Amino acid sequence: ELKVEQNPLFLSMQEGKNYTIYCNYSTTSDRLYWYRQDPGKSLESLFVLLSNGAVKQEGRLMASLDTKARLSTLHITAAVHDLSATYFCAVKSGGSNYKLTFGKGTLLTVNP
Amino acid sequence: DTEVTQTPKHLVMGMTNKKSLKCEQHMGHRAMYWYKQKAKKPPELMFVYSYEKLSINESVPSRFSPECPNSSLLNLHLHALQPEDSALYLCASSHERTRTGSYEQYFGPGTRLTVT
């Protein structure tokens, strides 16, 4: 059974600082997603990573995938308050194109 | 149009009521999903429809009954729910096949359900 572990689960950081969220998964998968969720809102797709070594960047966020290490990272550069949200990674499960196993989420709070 | 819409936004129902949640998308996606999300938890997959046929049922209790009347619409019929069914219900859609193989899921805003 696929297990997806995110850490940290809670992250409080100051504006202007850099930090990384880690997503480890237990079995081979060829697809990994990062989502953002604001309180009481839906999930917004941030990145889709499909191959080993994939790196994608959008604004202050950069995601990467190492399929050999079964690890994805979400790097935050020079954090701003607007980035405060919960971030989930999700990994394609087994042979289904539809099933995703989500991590528990990282609650990010950016303080002035 | 890259939007998934859901109605109603909020729903309060008693344990003996019957109600339905509705989801609609016009992106030409042929896979549609229902998720349940409890507070401070990740979404849990309930059902997947592919080409209007039920493809995945994650052992969901029969008091939840999905329906896909056409490729744009997805309903979730609710009957005799329990208070522990209170949650945010999210609909999502994706392409059934893509050139890149991403199967990226687009989520609707959700229905906040409270069972009293």
Q: What residues contact residue B97 under an 8 Å CB cut-off, 6+ apart?
A: none
C-alpha A37, offset from chain centre: 11
The strand pair at B111-115 and B10-13 is best described as parallel
pLDDT band with cut points at 50, 70 and 90 for residue B95: confident
Please indicate whether, in this complex, the C-beta atoms of A41 and B109 are within 8 angstroms of each other.
yes
For chain B, say whether A9 makes contact (Cβ under 8 Å). no
pLDDT at B2: 63
pLDDT at B99 > cutoff 90: no
pLDDT at A65: 96
Task: Work out the average pLDDT over A87-109.
Answer: 91
pLDDT at A53 > cutoff 90: no
B73: amino acid identity, one letter:
L
Residue A93's closest chain B neighbor by CA?
A: B45
Dig out the tokens for B12 from the structure: 């309060």
pLDDT tens digits, residue range B29-82? 999 999 999 999 999 999 999 999 999 999 999 999 999 999 999 999 999 999
pLDDT at B100: 64
Report chain B residues whose CB lies below 8 A from the CB of A42: 90, 107-110
C-alpha B94, offset from chain centre: 13
Considering only the beta carbons, identify the residue of B48, B90, B102 that sits closest to A98: B48
Residue B105: closest CA among B116, B91, B88, B92 = B92
The percent of residues in chain A predicted with pLDDT above 70, rounded, is 100
Considering only the beta carbons, identify the residue of B31, B42, B102 that sits closest to A98: B31
